[in-house]
Chain A
């Protein structure tokens, strides 16, 4: 197999991996602060993808323009979801939280099924076939744009957490909940804002991914699993870990599709996951597991 083919596949896997990374970042941020594993994460992603598909089909809006309204809507949705539904479950055992989010996921997936039917939908933008030639590489323009937007969103999120007072307060909640309460932080408000940021990430990721892949109502659970794999590999709760995990999974999926068979690509992801859990359970970037 020519080296150029392999390089091209790696490049496209890497660019898609950044979008996966953004999706997983949402999950990781939520877990890192609120300590809730969002089992409806992929389903929320599917909802965002459908929003972009419908806007494109109805008014011809480029999914890239849908980023902002979808992110804003998802921010609100995440806030309400956490404040209204999930917050009473914070102290409950894990299986209780799991059941609640599973119920949310079931309703979302089947809501999409009822509303839009089981067929795969996608978006055909007019620049879909354009590409850049960089040395021996031929990179799709869409992938470059998606990866750039994903990176920019991640950078924005990093900046919010690192440099704003609000970000500092959220990190305080994650580091020492009791201490945060003692100094008078409004924890449930901050939790809801964190959840909102996480869902907004997924909203952006959904608008981007719709340019790269088809969506069906059943994509939701598959995305949830993918996000889990990525954050566990990167380290649950670690922000750089989520991005690195996304890139790793993106590249390994692309290579597995090329070298083995496309249907085996998620097997490689799960094999990676098992290897990471066996050798470094806290993830590549995670601090020691509890």
Chain B
């Protein structure tokens, strides 16, 4: 019950215009397949997919400060688990997703335990996550049961029927599935952000020693952040498997994939609720737009698009260090909130923190300590 109340409270603190905008956005997204053609639909699916995985990664990095550069590991493990269960044993993807979440949470727990036991953090932790993803990639290259490096394929069914049980059929179904995931990622993030765990996460991110001194079980909450993030990413993997129908270790576990995942939240605004969504939209549209523009200009030389993409990334990080959303939110007035709302601001203005979705209401530095102190009774 209290969980449900918390969930409701997620949005009550936001300004009215923010809630209205969110409702309009959701309505537009639900109606969109009526007007979009197949290509634009696929672009929208891509945006929602990246918004979702970005959101999942953001829980770990944006909220709890643990930089993972190996999230492709969870996408790949989730995808392979559900796909192998479906193909070999006929297990429906909804059940396969549960197994996928289990596998990914187990992997995340192993990595987290290994790292946090020794206080590995920052760069070292990031490189450890890369190592595990690469290790698994090469392992799957030699894993014959799921096709090894030759790839693993799901039976493609060409029909306009939507088979929701087996997730086979028309792209519109995948659009709604991706939309559902994006909403799920948003709601889970919002819930964590406003809940007790969110305060602990941010305390750990901003000053781990202080958080520990104040009584936060930092090991437990860092593990929790990694596990939640991995569980959500596993579902993205299941979606990936059934949407694309083919899996290659070389592609799905590639470090390039891990980087793709983290671009959206970083460009959009790390540690914010809307950053991953906005970043996914901006980056996907930029990428597709570049494709179109280069095709129109007749300059489809491989590599040119990536160079322009790289320049855009570099400029974005140089001139908008906190991402697009915090700046935009300030302009739109989404950062103001009602007087009675709980304050959750943990970083000073200009700090690298949740300046977007969380309130900008004046919170004294004491807010940083108030949350962890509760650890004693929790």
Q: What is A's interface to B at a CB cutoff of 8 Å?
A: 31, 37, 88, 92-96, 98-100, 102-107, 109-114, 118, 217, 221, 225, 228-229, 232, 236, 261, 263-264, 266-267, 270-271, 273-274, 277-278, 281, 289-290
Contacts and interface: CB of A to CB of B under 8 A. Distances in A.
* Majority SS at the chain A contact face: helix
Contacts of A263: 138, 141-142, 149
B59 to A, nearest CB: 15
Contact of A102 (B61, B123, B259, B321): B259
Contact of B124 (A92, A261, A281): A281
Contacts of A107: 307, 310-311, 314
A95 B61 contact: yes
B302 A118 contact: yes
A256 to B, nearest CB: 11
Interface in B284-306: 301-304, 306
Most buried by A among B120, B142, B149, B310: B310
B126 A103 contact: no
10 contacts: A94-B122, A95-B270, A106-B306, A107-B311, A111-B307, A263-B142, A273-B127, A273-B128, A273-B131, A277-B120
B139 interface: yes
B114 A278 contact: yes
A266 B124 contact: no
Nearest to A116: B303
Interface of B: 61, 67, 69, 114-115, 118-120, 122-124, 126-128, 130-132, 134-135, 138-139, 141-142, 149, 255-256, 259, 262-263, 266, 270, 301-304, 306-307, 309-311, 313-314, 317-318, 321, 352
Given A96-B317, A99-B314, A277-B128, 11 more contacts: A96-B266, A100-B317, A112-B303, A114-B301, A114-B304, A217-B303, A270-B134, A273-B128, A273-B131, A281-B120, A289-B119
Contact of B307 (A88, A114, A221): A114
Contacts of A271: 135
Given A221-B256, A289-B124, A267 B310 contact: no
Nearest to A274: B131
Given A94-B126, A114-B303, A270-B135, A100 B141 contact: no
B218 to A, nearest CB: 15
A273 B131 CA distance: 7
Contacts of B259: 102
Nearest to B122: A94
Contacts of A274: 114, 128, 131-132, 135
Nearest to B322: A96
A259 B141 CA distance: 18
A107 B305 CA distance: 10
Contacts of A270: 131-132, 134-135, 138
Nearest to A108: B310
A96 B128 contact: no
A264 B138 contact: yes
Contacts, number: 125
Nearest to A115: B303
B204 to A, nearest CB: 15
Given A106-B307, A264-B142, A277 B115 contact: yes
Contact of A232 (B124, B139, B270, B318): B124
Contacts of B303: 109-114, 217
A106 B120 contact: no
Given A94-B67, A99-B313, A266 B138 contact: yes
A111 B307 CA distance: 7
Contact of A225 (B124, B128, B255, B263): B255
A88 B317 CA distance: 11
A282 to B, nearest CB: 9
A95 B310 contact: no
A244 to B, nearest CB: 18
A228 B130 contact: yes
B270 A103 contact: no
A208 to B, nearest CB: 25
Contacts of B313: 99, 102-103, 106
A176 B119 CA distance: 23
B314 A103 contact: yes
Contacts of B127: 228, 232, 273, 277
A228 B127 CA distance: 8
Contact of A37 (B123, B138, B255): B123
B292 to A, nearest CB: 18
Contacts of A278: 114, 118
A111 B309 CA distance: 12
Contact of A95 (B120, B135, B266): B266
Nearest to A267: B138
Nearest to A272: B131
A214 B154 CA distance: 36
Contacts of B130: 225, 228
Nearest to A277: B128
Contact of A109 (B119, B138, B306): B306
A103 B128 contact: no
B164 to A, nearest CB: 38
A102 to B, nearest CB: 6
**6 closest Cβ contacts across the A-B interface?**
A106-B310, A103-B314, A113-B303, A110-B303, A110-B306, A267-B138
B310 A110 contact: yes
Nearest to B262: A95
A225 B256 CA distance: 12
A229 B132 CA distance: 12
Given A94-B122, A225-B130, A264-B138, A104 B302 contact: no
Given A103-B314, A110-B306, A281 B118 contact: yes
